[in-house]
Structure formats: C-alpha cells, structure tokens
A = this chain, B = another copy of it.
Amino acid sequence: MHELATELFPITRSITGPGVRQTLSRIAELLPGLVIHEVPTGTKVLDWTVPREWEINEARLTGPNGEVIADLADSNIHVLNYSSGVDTQIELSELQEHLHSLPDMPEAIPYVTSYYADNWGFCITDRARQTLAEGSYHAFIEARHSEGSLTYAELLIPGQSEQEVLISTYVCHPSLGNNELSGPVVTVALARWLMQQKSLRFSYRIVFAPETIGAITYIATNRDQLSDRTLGGINLTCIGDDGDWSYLASREGNHPLDRIASRVVQTFSRPRVYSYLDRGSDERHYGMPGVDVPMISLMRTKYGVYPEYHTSLDDLTVITPSGLQGGLNLVRQTIEGLESSRYFVTTVLGEPQLGKRGLYHRTHARTVSDVILARTHILAYSDGQHSVEDLAELLDLPTDEVEELVSELCEHGLLEESLPLKRSL
C-alpha cells in the first residue's frame, strides 16, 4: 500500500482533469473490473453542475531578483488547486492577496483549493513569505479550464445478496499522504481482499471519485436505485497513519454498521468515536435526507485532528506501512463483522424435532445440556430481528459459540438466513 501511495503521490490531482484520470487508470490496473465513468462538463448533478476540466503544466512565482519563490515542479501544492492561469508582473503588496501560508505552521505549505470561484494563487511556507522583499514579482501559471468531463470509477464485487455496501473514497487531492492517498490505497487493498473472498453475503460497490462533486455526481447518476439497493456505506479517509483508530457514526447512528464498527473500534489501542456532527467528507452527501444511504466513516486519525492535515507536511512519512495496515484491518474487521452479522428465521413452524437430527439428548433425564438449551434459544429468537451478536448478548454466550450453533442449525435446514426483518407493531 505504501508503494502505491508513493507511486500516486506526485500526480497533480484535482476534481477533474488528467490527474484524476491518471490515478484511476493506475488503480484500474490493480482492480480488474473497475469501470471508469466520464460525466461531461455542464451536466446538472443534483444542485451542482459538473465543472470544467483543469489542466496545469507549469507554474512559477519569481521574485524581483529572479529567484524562484514557488515552482509547481517542486510541489504541486505550491499552486492553488484549480487555479486560473496567470502571467503577470505584480507588486508584492498586490501579490499578497494571492499568497497562502500558515503563520502558526511556518514550515508548512498549506493545501488550498478554489474550485467554484475564479482565483489564482500560490501556496508557500510562512517562513518564505516573511522574507519576501518589496518589488515586482512574476506570477506565471500555465493552466486552463476547458470542457471535458468528471471522472470517477466504480467496482461492483457481487456477493450472495443484492444488498450492497457502498465503499466510498476520493481521488482529488494532489501530493498529500494521509488525506488523501491513504484512502484510495487502503480501498484498493480492501477491494483486492474482497475479491479474494470465496463467499460474500453482501455485494460491495466501491466508488473512487473526487470528493464532494464526485459523490454528488455519483448520487445523481444512481439516484433511482441507490437507496433501495444499498444497505449502508463506509467512507474511507485519513486511514494510513499510526495514531488513532476512528469511527464516525452515520446520521441516525443505529445502523448495523454503526453497531459493528463501534464494537470493532474498541478493540484497538486508541479508539475514537465521532458523531455525525463531526463529519466532513462524502458521508455528508450520502447521509442527506432523501439520499438515505446511512454511511459511517472509518479513519485512523481524523482529518483536522492531526496537525499535518492539508499541508505539505501530510506527506509519505505521515502514512506508514503499519498505519495503512492498521487502517485496512479496521475496515476488514468491520466488514467481517457485517458479513458475520447474520439474521435468521426458522424454516419450520414451531420448535423443530432436534432429536431426529442428533441435536438433542438420546435419553432425557433431569437436565438439558447448555448446548441444547442454546439451540432452543437460538431457534426461539431467530425471528429476523436478532442478529447473531444480538443473540450472543441475549444468551450471554460468546459470539463464536452462537455462530457455530447457528451454522449447525442451518446445516440441518432448521434456520435460514434472512435480510433483517422490520419489527411489526
């Protein structure tokens, strides 16, 4: 994963244009079956419009004495992302309005975007900015916005059920490590792992898209089926550092994914639980009323919480092989939790005859063994409303024990899996 991040790191991504396309092409090589969609500029997507493509080739800010202050070639976050083109001599005082730096992080170049307002600008360290002398500067950005399309990619990994889990991550940040490359590289690893699974109960639909506008576009182009086919979703971001293990709740907070992830995250050393009110990524779009895809987020250290966030310091040293692996583990365990979070119904009316299947005492004296008791309890509560974990809690038994007993009862044709049934009133 860290190698892939290293490979994708230098690409100058934005919400549209060759950077996204190049990134998704590389991912497509790793994920057979990935479908790349292009949605033309100008397409209305919900309340939004697909923007023009952005292409940038060269950009340089030169000082009065010809010294290079910032060069795209050195760092692609030196240029305001989605910046207009410019080629002008400009006095320092006027230039200041086009400069972005972080006074409280003097060594960091901030990552700044301006997708929906016409702007040009350079991002530099505040230390460099403080040394700028009066005089005339040459601001040169060879960038253009042109008709084209927005690019996103989608991979469906079918499972036994047509109910889908939506895995969402984004590909629009240029050379930034934890936010964002950890997201797509963990997602690629996750997708490969999912494809290797022999038997998935749920189907998994993995979406790589530019943040916000990509999610909006995806929702717009899939709105008819999205809510019906999707059980829930997981957004993956900031998932490659060695810090926290974080779970951010869905809007309602009581989805099966919430119950599972809140349990899983507690098994790690630095668990963090966030409310939907702390959200800030694509779960905000999927969770909107009317879209109604309950989506949790899984992260290592949440965006905004680690200091390097959205600066040049969020580089390939923030994400580590162990951090990425830890993030992948968090997601895998959550999915494993969902996969094993099964709901069952009995196939026969009444308590089945366990004896004829060798599941009861041959002779019956004074007590019923614990295992037989558990069998009858599981049968009595397999009403499509108690997951195996719910049963384990109810019976105060280890989950794997309940799981085994459920499997046994399924093998004997006495239980069958069901999608969760709504409780009748």
Contacts and interface: CB of A to CB of B under 8 A. Distances in A.
A309 B425 CA distance: 39
A138 interface: no
Contacts of A379: 288
Contacts of A425: 422, 425
Given A287-B380, A379-B288, A216 B114 contact: no
A320 interface: no
B47 A119 contact: no
B111 A350 contact: no
A46 B348 contact: yes
B351 A284 contact: yes
Contacts of A223: 349
A318 interface: no
Interface string A207-220: 00000000010011
A386 to B, nearest CB: 10
A350 B291 contact: yes
Contact of A311 (B216, B346, B366): B366
Contacts of A346: 288-290
Contacts of A368: 280
Interface residues of A, number: 66
Q: Which of A284, A348, A353, A395 has the most chain B CB atoms inside 10 A of its CB?
A: A353
Nearest to A395: B277
Given A113-B364, A422-B425, A46 B119 contact: no
A288 B377 contact: no
A365 B47 contact: no
A309 B366 contact: yes
Interface stretch (A88-96, A231-239, A265-273, A355-363): A355-363
B113 A349 contact: no
Contacts of A193: none
A94 to B, nearest CB: 17
A345 interface: yes
A300 interface: no
Binding site secondary structure of chain A: loop
A302 interface: no
Nearest to A382: B289
Given A280-B368, A311-B366, A367-B304, A219 B100 contact: no
Contacts of A117: 355, 362-363
Contacts of A366: 102, 110-111, 304, 309-311
A362 B289 contact: no
Contact of A112 (B110, B113, B352, B364): B364
A115 interface: yes
Interface string A362-395: 1111111000000011011011100000000011
A363 B113 contact: yes
Contacts of A115: 355, 364
Interface string A281-316: 000110111110000000000001000011100000
Contact of A380 (B289, B311, B380): B289
Contacts of A291: 349-350
Contacts of A304: 366-367
A117 B366 CA distance: 17
Contacts of A119: 362-363
Interface in A119-166: 119, 121
A280 B351 CA distance: 12
A46 B350 contact: yes
Interface in A224-252: 251
Q: Which 3 interchain pairs have the tightest Cβ spacing?
A: A116-B355, A47-B348, A289-B383
17 contacts: A46-B352, A49-B353, A80-B363, A100-B365, A111-B365, A113-B364, A113-B365, A114-B363, A114-B364, A119-B362, A216-B350, A216-B353, A277-B377, A277-B394, A284-B376, A289-B380, A304-B366
